[in-house]
Amino acid sequence: MKNTRSVVRTLMAIILLYLSVGVIPFGYQIEPVAYAGGSAPKMSEDLQSKISKSPRSMVSIIIQTPATPTNSLLSAVSFSGGFLKRMYKNVNALGIQLPASVVAILASRLDVKYISLDRPTEVTGHIETTTGALQARNYGTFSTGTINGSGIGIAILDSGIYSSHHSFNNSRVVANVDFTGEGRTDDVYGHGSHVAAIAAGNDHVSNGEYTGIAPSARIINVRVLNSQGQGLTSNAIAGIDWCITNKLAYNIRVMNLSFGTTAVDSYKNDPLCLAVRRAFNAGIVVCVAAGNSGKDSNGQKVYGAIHSPGIEPSAITVGAANTFGTNSRADDVVASYSSRGPTRGYYSDILGIKHYDNLIKPDLVAPGNKLIAVQAKDNRLVAENPSLDANVSSHDYHEMMYLSGTSMATPAVAGAAALILQRNPVLTPNLVKAVLQYTAQPLKGFNTLEQGAGLLNVEGAVRLAGLIRQDLSLLSVGMPLLTSSAPIQTTTIAGASFSWGGGIIQKWNFITGVNLITKCQGIYSTGVLLTDGVLLSGGVLLADGVLLSDGVLLSDGVLLSDGTTLASGTLVTQGTLLSDGTLLSDGVLLADGVLLSDSLLSLQTSTSSSVAIVGQSVLANGDATTCMTAVSDSTID
């Protein structure tokens, strides 16, 4: 009788889906399911593999929909033996658990855009001085006060926060919310408190020796990792969704995601990336960890291991630097474990051919090795690894611990973003990212796929931000961006001076030029991507940002002036990167990553090399003629 009921239930589900999509399913072969237009598969490859291996199992998935999920889709899920786990206010997606055997049928529906696995997420002392944050405190004005992050909300999406620690003064943790299902917002694992303190810990402990970057910022505790430091993509999306909804209530201008999951899908389909894009479009600077997969088990360099959502172009993806515990930056290097680009998310076309994103990531690096910050009371990390205890105090509310990783580097950048926004609150997320990249210090001996634009320079970033005009809505592309001439493009920290990199990353290239900061650029608007756009000279289109085809990577790795190359190393997923710049089975590397200097950057949709554009940026969904144009949702292309 029980088997009969099961058969009837399955038949009812099949009939309902048949009526919904108008297609008769002729079997359960797991094959790529195309969009209605037959252009591309609608199921991620790892999901297809899981279904093939366990067709009778239950699977947790994320269904993306073209618009608000329909009642018909929800009914189909229910009748298929599935149930709803998550529904979002700002993201057109559903977290679902249902039988593997019906996923392919759901994917064929017109009200389903893409389906992927609900992938697991995991977490991947002298920081105030070595980053230049201490010097930046002095760049305040009468209206801003001391530059310490005051009034700016930083959302920490992590394992919770031990808010009773005196580095937070309790009152600065202004909101606590849990999306793990455990019904708690403290930090049993110990990761989130450490992250929050790097971004915004105050100077209460040890006479300020462990002060964070933005010690007066508001902290919003969004718990998406459980007591074991584990989570799900659907939990993370729920946390992002909540931040968008509550942005105004807590002035959330910055989000920190010091966790990640394996990058499988292209950022165009990855549900976590799409949620990050929603937050970006809502005006939130999103800082994410690159990952800690920069070397293999033999200690050899690995390229192409950037985690999701670090593969998302709108995010500020942060790698880790090793400062060796010194304030001087002369000995700083990229940490060996820090994940390197290019991004290797991909989509498959209707012929099964994979198209890799191959974007330059990370965007920059920041100190991340053996950082001392808040130790949550009785946390699991220290219990399992007693050597992490920094033994700073015998009091729980003063105790500190060591941690390393891109998880630690990311909140340093999040704190820097808060300082930039305190100094100049009108800046768009794109301008914040551009300022951080332009002022970064290129580390000699490391290519752009390892360090992005270079090492975080808070002093330079806050100083430059203070020179940017606050009437951006009145500016047309090409008009002066600064209130004065270009600043001196050097910074001195711990008695040693260094030059800024003076450039920004454009998907596959690193471009330089003083006009990037002296003139309003179309790509600095809200609702477009900093990485998009074309180079203009006298109104003539020189390049459209697309280099040959999807299989072709960036330059030969000489994306910085120090002449470094990629050297040898393994490229994850596909092919091996050889010292001569050849990428086996996946295209070749082009020469010369620096296109032009002193350029105007615009965004347009045409790929014609003869198009002439004068003084404006053309979007797929409207014109962006100022540095502050608002677009409700940027096209992902």
- Active-site positions read 158, 191, 407
Supply 255's token pair. 């989000």
Give the residue from 381, 401, 406 showing the smallest Cα distance to 189.
381
DSSP string, 186-241: S-SSSHHHHHHHHHH--STGGGGTT--SSTT-EEEEEE-S-TTSEEEHHHHHHHHH
Number of H-type helices and E-type strands within the chain = 16, 30
Query: Using alpha carbons only, what angle is made at residue 47 by residues 44 and 50, rounded to the nearest 5 degrees?
Result: 155
Report which secondary-structure segment, H or E, holds 93. strand 93-99
Angstrom CA distances, 376 to 168, 236, 408, 413, stand at 12, 22, 15, 22
| Contact indicator for 321, 334 with CB cutoff of 8 Å | yes
Task: Tell me the sheet residues that pair with 504.
Answer: 511
**How many CB atoms are located within 10 Å of the residue 22 CB?**
10
| Contact indicator for 532, 470 with CB cutoff of 8 Å | no
Q: How far apart are CA 602 and CA 472, in angstroms?
A: 16
Q: Omega of the bond prior to 309 within 30 degrees of 0, cis?
A: yes
Q: Which residues of 24-49 are buried (b: 16+ CB within 10 A; e: fewer)?
A: eeeeeebebbebeeeebbbbbbebbe
Q: How far apart are CA 544 and CA 637, in angstroms?
A: 13
